[in-house]
Amino acid sequence: MKRILVSGGSGFLGSHLCEKLLKEGNEVLCVDNLFTGRKSNIHHLLSHKNFEFLRHDITHPLYAEVDEIYNLACPASPLHYQFDPIQTTKTSVMGAINMLGLAKRLKIKVLQASTSEVYGDPEINPQPESYKGCVNPIGIRACYDEGKRVAETLFFDYHRQHQVKIKVIRIFNTYGPRMQPNDGRVVSNFILQALKGEDLTIFGEGTQSRSFCYVDDLIDGMYRLMNSNEHLTGPVNIGNPNEMTMLELAEKIILMTGSRSKLRFLPLPQDDPLQRRPDISQAKRELDWEPKTHLDQGLEKTIQYFEKVLTKEVVLV
Ligand code: NAD
Ligand code: UDP
Choice from 72, 167, 178 to test ligand 1 binding pocket (greatest atom count within 8 A of CB):
72
Mean pLDDT of the 63-68 span: 97
Is residue 106 within 6 Å of ligand 1 at its C-beta?
no
Q: What mean pLDDT is reported for the chain? A: 97
Distance, CA 186 to ligand 2 centroid (Å)?
A: 5
Q: What is the pLDDT of residues 1-15, one digit of tens each?
A: 999 999 999 999 999
Q: What per-residue confidence (pLDDT) applies to 145? A: 98
Q: Tell me the ligand closest to 202's alpha carbon.
A: 2
Q: Exposure string (b/e) for 212-242, b if CB count within 10 Å is 16 or more?
A: bbbbbbbbbbbbbbbebeeeebbbbbbbbbe
Is residue 237 within 6 Å of ligand 1 at its C-beta?
no
Is residue 145 within 6 Å of ligand 1 at its C-beta?
no
Distance, CA 272 to ligand 2 centroid (Å)?
A: 8
Q: What per-residue confidence (pLDDT) applies to 43? A: 96
Is residue 148 within 6 Å of ligand 2 at its C-beta?
no
Q: What is the pLDDT of residues 130-158, one digit of tens each?
A: 999 999 999 999 999 999 999 999 999 99
Q: What is the pLDDT of residues 12-63, one digit of tens each?
A: 999 999 999 999 999 999 999 999 999 999 999 999 999 999 999 999 999 9
Spans of all domains in the chain:
3-174+213-241+275-292
Question: DSSP for the chain?
Answer: --EEEEETTTSHHHHHHHHHHHHTT-EEEEEE--SS--HHHHGGGTTSTTEEEEE--TTS------SEEEE--S--SHHHHTTSHHHHHHHHHHHHHHHHHHHHHHT-EEEEEEEGGGGBS-SSSSBPTT---B--TTSTTHHHHHHHHHHHHHHHHHHHHH--EEEEEEE--EE-TT--TTS--HHHHHHHHHHHTPPEEEETTS--EEE-EEHHHHHHHHHHHHTS-TT----EEES---EEEHHHHHHHHHHHHT----EEEEPPPTT--S---B--HHHHHHH-------HHHHHHHHHHHHHHHHTTSSPP-
Q: Residue 313: which residues within 8 A CB-CB, separation 6 or more?
A: none
Class of domain 3-174+213-241+275-292: alpha beta
Q: What per-residue confidence (pLDDT) applies to 116? A: 97
- Which atom of ligand 2 lies closest to the CA of 193? 8
Q: What per-residue confidence (pLDDT) applies to 212? A: 98
Mean pLDDT of the 259-279 span: 96
Q: What per-residue confidence (pLDDT) applies to 158? A: 98
Q: Exposure string (b/e) for 42-78, b if CB count within 10 Å is 16 or more?
A: beebeeeeebbbeebbbbeebeeebebbbbbbbbbbb
Q: What is the pLDDT of residues 70-118, one digit of tens each?
A: 999 999 999 999 999 999 999 999 999 999 999 999 999 999 999 999 9
- Which atom of ligand 1 lies closest to the CA of 185? 40
Residue type (1 letter), 143: C
pLDDT band at 203 (very low <50, low <70, confident <90, very high): very high
Query: Is 144 known to be catalytic?
Result: yes
Say which of 81, 119, 144, 305 is annotated catalytic.
Answer: 144
Percent of the chain with pLDDT over 90: 98
Q: Tell me the ligand closest to 171's alpha carbon.
A: 1
**Length, in residues, of the chain:** 317
Q: Read off the pTM.
A: 0.97
pLDDT band at 309 (very low <50, low <70, confident <90, very high): very high
